[in-house]
Structure 1
Amino acid sequence: METSGAHERVPAPRSALRADQVLVTGDITRDWVFTTRDLHAHAREPVDVRYTTTRRREVHHVQGVPLHDVLSRVVLRQESDAKMERLSFVVAARAADGFRVVLSWAEVDPEFGACAALLATRYNGRLLTLPTLVVPGDGRSSRYVRDVCRLRLIRVAG
């Protein structure tokens, strides 16, 4: 008798997250939870981000940590020693309200796309309860994710 998913990892039961915690999970060796306050302790200098909405141009003052810096703390679960296997991963950022955005690993890796995506912990001077994913290079704010509660790293099957 064949069982599908025989190699899949069975997740351990997890207690509910607090309102200020973000879960990093997926195809990684160990899940990780961090708080916005802990993340803010490593925030870089504030930057102005500009984008266009359907109605007007906006400028916002944000401070946070580059997404790649956060992701570099996890160990990807790789299936082989294939060349550059990490480039087959994506990160899905999920908001508390269910909104989701996907970025490729290569897009945020400084050695490749060097996208300036960051997890903002302070937005227009206000310390956030949950971070906001900000993609400063985008001309629109469509990939901005407010109240990020989960980052899931996913290997894309070839």
Structure 2
Amino acid sequence: MIAVSRSPTAADAPAEVVLTGDLRRPARLTVAALLSWPQHGARVTFECAGSGIRRHRFTGPRLHDVLTAADPVFDPTRRKDRLRFLIAVRGADGHHALLSWAEIDPDFGRAPVLLAVSLDGTPLDGTGPQLVLPQDRCGARYVSGIEAIRVDGGYAAWH
């Protein structure tokens, strides 16, 4: 699930990630735009069912920082409202992963999840960023060529 190549478009435009959902500031971000956030590095080892142990070095902004800048619609009158939010990530190859806001929130799981802009020193400009979960033993949630991230707080009906 490492970098996948996308078919070039007529204009060879850089890959974009579309941030949607329960956000006050939805956005379209390129790898170049993601470089404006503080960059963090992660050396990771994870297991792939098909190819065994993989070791890589990634750099990029934290997912929490990028999504916080998009201003999720948390209800300040509801205690711990952010805990009901889910984050769905979709890659250009159709691969999906789901995270909870609590996983990446510094007050809860504090997982240092990255939107990687480089893989082993190679920029991901053409393919788009990659979801990197350094805490995961299995590489199944490493989504490459991310094209969409949706933040969804629609689980309020459970309350």
TM-score range, shorter chain: 0.7 to 0.9
CA shift at 1:19, angstroms?
Answer: 4.0
The aligned amino acid for 1:70 is V
CA shift at 1:56, angstroms?
Answer: 2.4
Indicate which of 85, 90, 93 corresponds to 2:86.
Answer: 90
CA shift at 1:43, angstroms?
Answer: 4.6
CA shift at 1:81, angstroms?
Answer: 1.6
Tell me the residue number matched to 1:47.
Answer: 42
CA shift at 1:99, angstroms?
Answer: 1.4
CA shift at 1:33, angstroms?
Answer: 1.3
Q: What's the secondary structure of 1:72's corresponding residue?
A: helix
Please report the RMSD computed on the Cα atoms of aligned residues, expressed in angstroms. Answer: 1.6
Higher relative contact order (CA 8 A, sep 6+): 2
- Rounded to whole Å, the distance in 2 between the matches of 1:123 and 1:40 is 14
CA contact (8 A) 1:96 1:149 kept: yes
CA contact (8 A) 2:43 2:56 kept: yes
- TM-score, L = length of structure 2: 0.81
- TM-score, L = length of structure 1: 0.82
Tell me the residue number matched to 1:25.
Answer: 20
The aligned amino acid for 1:143 is R
Matches within 5 A, 1:2-151: 18-54=13-49, 55-78=51-74, 81-129=77-125, 130-151=128-149
Structure 1 runs (4+) greater than 3 angstroms displaced: none
Aligned length: 141
Larger radius of gyration: 1
The aligned amino acid for 1:85 is D
CA shift at 1:90, angstroms?
Answer: 0.6
- Rounded to whole Å, the distance in 1 between the matches of 2:31 and 2:42 is 18
Q: What's the secondary structure of 2:139's corresponding residue?
A: coil
Q: Which has the higher helix share?
A: 2
**Structure 1: gaps (5+ residues):** 1-17
Which is further off, 89-98 or 42-51? 42-51
CA spacing shift, 1:30–1:40, aligned 2, 3 Å: closer
The aligned amino acid for 1:127 is P
